Amino acid sequence: MKQRPRIYYTDSQKALMWERRRQGDSLQKIAQLFNRNHSSVIQILAETGGIRPAQRCHSRLALTLAEREEISRAVVAGQSIRSIAAALGRAPSTVSREVRRNGGLEAYRATRADQCAWDRARRPKPCKLVVNPKLADIVAGKLQFQWSPEQIAGWLKQAYTGNKDFHVSHETIYRSLYIQARGALKKELLEHLRRSRNMRRSRHHTQKTDDHGRINGTVSISERPATAEDRAVPGHWEGDLLFGSHNSQIATLVERQTRYVMLVKTAGKDTASVVDALILNARKLPQELYKSLTWDRGKEMADHKRFTLDTHIQVYFCDPHQPWQRGSNENTNGLLRQYFPKGLDLSTYSQENLDDVARLLNERPRKTLNYQTPAQRFHECVASTG
Give the closest residue to 369 by CA, choosing from 252, 286, 257: 257
CB 207 within 8 Å of CB 79:
no
Strands 236-243 and 249-255: antiparallel
Residue 52, Cβ density class (10 Å: 0-12 exposed, 13-18 middle, ≥19 buried): middle
β-pairing, 236-243 vs 314-317, is: unpaired
Listed residue (60, 59, 56, 74) closest to 110, CA to CA = 74
- Cross-strand pairs, 372: 366
Task: Give me the pLDDT at residue 94, please.
Answer: 92
Q: What is the mean pLDDT of residues 360-368?
A: 92
CATH number for the domain whose boundaries are 221-385: 3.30.420.10
Q: Give CA–CA dist 251/303, Å, rounded.
A: 15
pLDDT digits 0-9 by tens, 3-47? 555 667 787 887 887 788 777 777 778 878 877 777 777 777 766
What's the gap between Cα 376 and its chain centre? Answer: 25
Give residue-wise pLDDT tens across range 235-252: 999 999 999 988 899 999
46-90 pLDDT tens trace: 666 677 777 777 788 889 999 999 999 999 999 999 999 999 999
pLDDT at 323: 82
Between the two ends of the chain, the Cα-to-Cα distance in Å is: 76
